[in-house]
A and B are shown apart, each in its own frame.
Chain A
Amino acid sequence: MSYTLITLAINGLVWGLIIALIALGLSVIFGLLDIINLAHGDFFMIGTVVAWTVLTSTGSFWPAFALAPLVGFVLGAIIQRIVLQPIRNAAALSIVATFGLSMILQEVVRMTFGPTPRRILPPVPGTIDLFGIQYEIYRLFAACVSLAALAAFFLFLHRTKLGTWMRAVRHDRDTATAMGVPAQRVYMVTFGLGFALAALGGVVASPITTVDFRAGVDILPFCFMAVIIGGLGNLPGTAAAAVLLAFLEGIISSFASPTVARITSLVLMSVVLLLRPQGLFKGLTK
């Protein structure tokens, strides 16, 4: 069934790039704030909901690309300041707080958006001839957008002052503060950025997935897999791991069920956690 294999494999690549974006947000939060963010999948879900809302209220999909990350960023910064900052020193409590946050986000969306899943039609319709199959143009577009966003993010990290601050704080909190980096602001920005990245991923993914208040639940484990296998604090590694894992799952799905594919990834993740917790891509650490 090579037809299905190619489709699933490319789907995997496309998804991988989108997940890379989301997982990067998770990795940044994990690496800088030491927080295991159980609400991260729901940040993605918020992005899809924003996309749907923008589409249904303005008739156009494109504003969502700007709006969702913005909403995400603002929400993230506020949440960090109000909820997470007071409990900065109790890491275990932070996890519980993010779990509570996840419940709130899901429920709020369920209340306002409703429990039924909706679908968005791809804003760029049609298919194109690719490797002998008809492939959705939008997916390719999504991949390109993700790639561009990833590139922009890395540029931001390395070329802007804020990005440098973030890297400094991640590397050595105390020295950075001593050198005048406003740690508190960096934390707010980081969480906001993490939310924004996930939300952007949500927008990009919304035409190829369902818009549903539970959409984040499936995404979360996958993001964690990418972060762990790629290596904590290793941002390029996380991105690479996301792509690789999704690609792998895509291929496995072609001859076994998606659930089996997911189990395989999880087992791989366990192995990495146990044998090489710093991740597989250590050499790529910046």
Chain B
Amino acid sequence: MRQRFQDLDWIGLALWVFRAVIIVLIIWGTVATLIENPYSARQWTDIIIFGIAQGSMYALIAIGYTLVYGVLFMINFAHGEFFMSGIVTATVLVTTPMAATGFLNRQPILSLLIIGLVAVIVSVGVSLLTERIAYRPLRKAPRLVPLITAIGASFFWQYAFRGLFGSQVIPFPVPDQIRGTVSLLGTEVLKTHILVIITTIIMLVGLQLFIMRSRTGKSIRAVAEDKDSAALMGIDVDRAVSITFATGAAMAGIAGLLYAMVFTQVHFFMGFFPGLKAFTAAVLGGIGSIPGAAIGGLLIGLFESIGPILFLEGVGVPAPHQLKDVIAFTMLVLVLIFRPQGILGERLAEKKA
């Protein structure tokens, strides 16, 4: 691969120029912002904690990409829809009636557990259905065929849920008990942000234990290593793949609940961009690696919330918040160009991508 383009060094040169321009922009912007420093320490902490909370959600979603890529070497484009489906269903069918009857505020913990459970069940159901219909028959097909069905599945689920629950933005009622802020290390932090971060840590640790210690986790890793040998060892490959999808979707379902609590609304299109960013996170951390997904998610979340202010405002971009998605996508492009194996990944990209 490296020799491949050796005769055309100008491409390497062009990429270096590209990289240098970005780095100069970032440094220039950062320095300019820091010299001017229009924000107070309180605002910076808010921004950073919001970034961590958002990054936690990306990390949870990224797990699904990483697991599926690790096992099937395919980008599950529809994963963002698994994230959306659970929480949209749970909001309409469970949360709204609970809020109407007042149950939500009487039993906030129990309510959130029920909502989370419904979201996870729906997300897992959607993922299993997608895997069974759109991916499994094509497992031996040329690589781009399942990618195309994944794109199809993504649009199918988006518009199916739009048809089911309507195209409007649906408010997500948050229990009174988790509204407001608490003081932590001298600053006021939103309770929801703390809840998000703690839940994510618990989920990630649990997942790591499940994959590394349990029998099922072992079978998933065996299938990821080599499907045919795993089958010969008596592992049901289809079942392992289904469990992989279900695990990723369960994480996405929880992430959906966290998203709804932070942004207090859900929508049929809400899965698309978080999905793409979580994919970026998975690639950034090293696709196929669970700690990588966590780190990548955190970094993307932080960059996205700090980036516009830190890099862009200093350069003199008006209304830099409009460009926060550009930062995420630029990161994706940069990572895929310059370090496709990611931070923690092995050199997967060359072998299999």
A binds B: no
Residues of A within 8 A of B (CB): none
